[in-house]
Chain A
Amino acid sequence: MSSANWLQLLAVAALVAVGARVLGPYIAGVYGDDQRSYGDRAFAPIERLIYRLGGIDPGAEQRWTGYAGSLLAFSLVSVLALFALLRLQHLLPLNPNDVPAVPAPLAFNTAISFVTNTNWQNYGGELTMSHLSQMAGLAVQNFVSPIVGLCVAVVLIRAFARRTTTMVGNFWVDLVRGTVRIFLPLACIVALLYVSQGVIQNLDGFRRVTTVSGGTQLIPGGPIASQEAIKQLGQNGGGFLNANSMHPFENPTGFTNLLQIVTILLVPFALTYAFGRMVKDQKQGWVVFAAMALLLLTSIGVATRFETAGNPELTRAGADQTTTVDQGGGNLEGKEVRFGAAGCGLFSAVTTGTSTGAVDCAHESMTPGGGAVPLVNMMLGEVSPGGTGAGLYGMLVFALLAVFIAGLMVGRTPEYLGKKIQAAEMKLVVIYLVIAPVAILCFSAISVALGSARGSILNPGPHGLTEVTYAFTSAANNNGSAFGGLAGNTDWFNTTLGLSMLLGRFFLIVPVLAIAGSLVRKQRTPATAGTFPTGTPLFAGLLTGVVVIVVGLTYFPLLSLGPIVEQLGL
Chain B
Amino acid sequence: MHRQLVPALRILAVLTVLCGIAYPLVATGVAQAAFGDRADGSLLRDADGDVVGSSLLGQAFEGDEWFWPRPSAAGDGYDGSASSPSNLGPTNPELLAAVAERIAAYGQANGLAPDASVPVDAVTASGSGLDPHISVANARLQAPRVAETRDLPLDDVLALVDDHTDGRSLGFLGEPGVNVVTLNLALAERG
| A binding-site residues for B, Cβ under 8 Å | 4, 7-8, 11, 50, 53-56, 69-70, 72-74, 76-78, 81, 124, 126-127, 135-137, 139-140, 143-144, 172, 175-176, 179, 184, 187-188, 191-192, 195-204, 206-207, 209-213, 215, 217-221, 223, 225-227, 230, 241-243, 246-249, 252-255, 257-258, 310-311, 313-315, 317-321, 324-340, 342-343, 359-362, 364-368, 371, 458-461, 463, 467, 483-485, 566, 569-570
Contacts and interface: CB of A to CB of B under 8 A. Distances in A.
Nearest to A486: B87
Nearest to B116: A318
B171 to A, nearest CB: 8
Contacts of B142: none
Interface string B47-77: 0001111101111111100100010001000
Contacts, number: 404
A364 B89 contact: yes
Nearest to B78: A217
11 contacts: A50-B11, A195-B38, A196-B38, A253-B173, A255-B174, A317-B103, A320-B118, A329-B120, A331-B120, A337-B70, A463-B90
Interface of B: 1, 4-12, 14-16, 18-21, 23-24, 26-28, 30-32, 34-35, 38-44, 46, 50-54, 56-63, 66, 70, 74, 78-93, 95-96, 99-100, 103, 115-121, 123-138, 140, 166, 168-177, 181, 184-185, 188
B86 A362 contact: yes
Contacts of A11: 172-173
Contacts of A73: 1, 4-5, 7-8
Nearest to B112: A318
B16 A140 contact: yes
B131 A337 contact: yes
A333 to B, nearest CB: 4
A76 B184 contact: no
A200 B40 contact: yes
B16 A136 contact: yes
Given A50-B18, A124-B84, A126-B80, 8 more contacts: A72-B4, A74-B12, A210-B50, A333-B124, A334-B87, A463-B91, A566-B89, A566-B90
B85 A338 contact: no
Contacts of B91: 313, 368, 461, 463, 566, 569-570
- What 3 A-B pairs come out closest when comparing CB atoms? A254-B174, A246-B127, A254-B173
Given A124-B82, A337-B177, A211 B168 contact: no
B120 A330 contact: yes
Contacts of B170: 254-255
Contact of B121 (A187, A220, A327): A327
Contacts of B123: 314, 319
B39 A126 contact: no
Given A319-B117, A362-B127, A243 B83 contact: yes
Contacts of B133: 336-338
